C-alpha cells in the first residue's frame, strides 16, 4: 500500500474502545490517531468507503470536557493484522468540530507512545566531556 499520509501517525499508549454509534456495536480499539483520522484494531473487517458514525470512549474523562468523542468517518482501508485473528482499519474523519479537534490534540499530547530512543552505540564525540577541555 502506498503511503499517502500527510500527518504522521501517532501511536497511543491507551486503547480506547470505538463503537458504531448507529448499532452500538464495539468496532475495536483505538491504536493510533491524528487530527484527520485514526486506526483501530478490530475483530471484524469493514468495507472500504463505508461511512461510519464513530464513538470513541475517552480514557481519562476528568482530563476532557466529555467522556466520549463522536465523529463521522469513512473507512479508508482495512487489512489483516499481523495476528490473523484481527484487522487493522484506517478511518478518515469527515468535518471535525473545533471542540473535537481540541480533544484529539490533547489525546495525542497526553497519550502518545513516545519512541525517543537514544542512538546506540553512542558516538565517541558524545562521550567527550567538553568542560574538561
Q: Where are the domains of the chain?
A: 10-113
CA separation, residue 28 to residues 42, 54, 62, 67, 97 (Å): 4, 11, 23, 17, 23
Confidence at residue 72, expressed as pLDDT on a 0 to 100 scale:
97
pTM for the model: 0.73
CB 31 within 8 A of CB 12: yes
Confidence at residue 26, expressed as pLDDT on a 0 to 100 scale:
96
Which of 25, 23, 61, 54 has the alpha carbon at shortest distance from 38? 54
Average pLDDT in the chain: 80
Confidence at residue 14, expressed as pLDDT on a 0 to 100 scale:
56
For the chain, the residue count is 133
Residue 77 burial class via C-beta count within 10 angstroms: exposed 0-12, middle 13-18, buried 19 and up: middle
Residue range 13-35, pLDDT digits in tens: 456 889 999 999 999 998 888 89
Confidence at residue 41, expressed as pLDDT on a 0 to 100 scale:
92
The CATH number corresponding to 10-113 among 2.40.10.220, 3.40.50.300, 1.10.540.10, 1.10.10.10 equals 2.40.10.220
Amino acid at each position: 500500500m502506498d503511503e499517502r499520509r500527510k500527518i504522521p501517525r501517532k501511536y497511543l499508549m491507551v486503547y480506547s474502545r470505538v463503537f458504531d454509534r448507529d448499532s452500538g456495536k464495539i468496532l475495536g480499539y483505538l491504536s493510533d490517531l491524528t487530527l484527520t483520522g485514526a486506526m483501530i484494531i478490530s475483530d471484524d473487517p469493514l468495507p472500504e468507503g463505508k461511512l461510519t458514525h464513530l464513538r470513541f470512549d475517552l480514557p481519562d474523562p476528568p482530563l476532557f470536557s466529555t467522556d466520549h468523542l463522536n465523529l463521522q468517518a469513512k473507512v479508508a482501508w482495512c487489512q489483516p493484522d499481523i495476528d490473523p485473528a484481527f484487522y487493522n482499519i484506517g478511518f478518515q474523519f469527515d468535518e471535525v468540530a473545533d471542540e473535537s479537534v481540541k480533544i484529539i490534540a490533547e489525546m495525542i499530547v497526553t497519550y502518545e507512545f513516545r519512541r525517543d530512543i537514544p542512538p546506540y552505540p553512542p558516538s565517541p564525540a558524545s562521550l567527550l566531556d567538553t568542560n574538561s577541555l
